[in-house]
Amino acid sequence: MNIPKLGSILEEQGRLSPEVLEEALEAQTGQGERLGQILIQQKKITEAELLEAIAIQLDLEILDSITDEQLSFDLVSSCPSSTSRAASFSHFRPRMALCGWR
C-alpha cells in the first residue's frame, strides 16, 4: 500500500503553496519535528485541516461533533492510543474525531 505524503495532500487541497511546503520541509529537517506540527506552529494550517489531511492519508472517516453520549467505552478503547490522542478521545470532549470505521 502506497501512503500519500501529508505535504502532497495539503498541497493538492490548496492549503499550502509549493513554496510554503518546501520551507516547512526544510524546517522539519532542521528541527526534527513532524511536518504537521511545524505547519501548525507556523500558522500555515489549522489543527482541523491537519486532521482532515491525516484522515485522507490514512483513509479514515472524519466524524464531526461527537458528544460524550455518542462515544461508547468499547469504541474508545478499541482505537489505537496514537489515534485517540490525535483525536482527543482521551479527554472525552466533543471534537473532531478520527476512527477507521466506515
pLDDT grade for 100, boundaries at 50, 70 and 90? very low
CB atoms within 10 A of CB 80: 10
CA atoms within 13 A on the CB side of 26: 6
Residue with cell 453520549: 69
In terms of Cα–Cα distance, which of 49, 63, 48, 47 is closest to 100? 63
Please state which of the ranges 3-7, 33-37, 56-60, 94-98 shows the lowest mean pLDDT: 94-98
Which structural domain, as residue segments, surrounds residue 102? 60-102
If asked whether residues 42 and 66 sit together in one domain, one would say: no
Rounded CA-CA distance 34/73 in Å is: 30
If asked whether residues 46 and 69 sit together in one domain, one would say: no
Rounded CA-CA distance 75/60 in Å is: 15
If asked whether residues 28 and 75 sit together in one domain, one would say: no
Mind listing the pLDDT tens digit for each residue in 18-50?
A: 999 999 999 999 888 999 999 999 999 999 999
If asked whether residues 1 and 50 sit together in one domain, one would say: yes
Is residue 94 over pLDDT 90? no
If asked whether residues 21 and 40 sit together in one domain, one would say: yes
Mean pLDDT confidence for 83-95: 43
If asked whether residues 55 and 81 sit together in one domain, one would say: no
